[in-house]
A and B are shown apart, each in its own frame.
Chain A
């Protein structure tokens, strides 16, 4: 088949079409630029649905593979190798789903340098999509590092007051981890004779080396997740980033880290994974509790949501390293859930910020009466984030806790037990936030807005249109998660099966 007509190649690089068109649009025509970016990202979403339609749920292996030799000189053996399976299909969909939503959310929020913004945003989508689809370590690394560049610009140019600091911190922090991974990738590529992941599976690497390689990969991914205690870049980046940037950062980019563990660490280094599982579980549990506690202490709404990510991603890590089917399935679903609910929260916070220009919890209050639609949607997003049964968060967290509780690899039910406290703590900080903003006496912001003669308005149609697709998914996953589990189950079972073989040996 023609190189560019491979479904996955098309899906990955389609946003580039938008970038090329945007180059030739004069920068003054902001609306044209916005529409082009939106339409291109919607077509990309359509392409991902097309990929989903072709996806065979029963097959646990890589599908729709696009594989070509890329650099094959001497003993270099690097391939252009894209593929999708049950582990990545949902994340691919999440990426292409959140991108148009984020672009739509910038309609009025981004007025400066719209052209540059959209170009960086579409480039970012290419990078993220590539990470989820690349099955060759070299190709993966290129996409992985590439995501840093547009995100760096998004934070640094369109961010808040401390944007430059946050952008550089984000960049250096994440790069610090990934360069160690680069060395491990080279070691694997040289000693394994190939960079393609499926060919490297089952390579016989002695346990000590395996542990080093595991740690080098883990350094990159743990920073990205971020796992406690490597999370300190996250609040800065999330808070300073523009709303659309925060949505993508929390919704997709953090999953690059957890996905990395799932795709590379666990299958490539099964013995080291089993060995490391209790330690990762420990860090994950600390992260869950710590993230929740720190969230509660925040006076800034965006920071509160940012820290809640540390807690939620702790659940994902706990589920992954339960190394059993329930844990891993729950973890994958929770990656999607977090993308939806935290994405929704960042969007909502961004919408109110656009009107009030403050995120201080103290000055809010009593918004429910003035903006009921906003309040209702916020309530649903908040309840989804804290894991209310019937909404998506509950399904993920519950499955993870079940998995972690019965996990042979972690082999200690206490981690699951303590983590369960995190669910309760989530209820505390989320409800605290909601109460401060929407209930009680009217806060200063209301007067302030009236003082300026316009008052606070409720969500407009564009903003509701942004939220509705997310809300539909929140309810869908909460009430009927089976189709989602079915997509990933065969691949997860195959992965878990290969690990349990190792554990017995």
Chain B
């Protein structure tokens, strides 16, 4: 697809870039993904066009819509639906990460700011906490923390958020 002016659905890469940037920008600013009608207003396009742009972006990235709806449920590294991975930026908790791994990628959307991820451990015990700023992992509590997935990263869509 490199070099193609238009995507398969007649959507240009420039339009997809603009839509992706607008969605990500809205989540970064508010913690919430826009509805397609809101995105249409932001982009100055018809709602159905915005809806198609969202659908195509979701196809191209490891995000998903809530089943049976047009609502963005997950837009990595964020999740529009709350998860156990709470994300704070400079002390303000407004965001949720798609999963434990994507929580570690949130920092690239907040350059120069301190991103803190807190979560319970799935088997109980004390909670987890990680502080990051840009390339630096400032603290990991407990220091023995590990990440694990029982499925391939970016694999089967049905398993992406949970496993």
Indicate, yes or no, whether A interacts with B. Answer: no
B contacts, CB < 8 Å to A: none
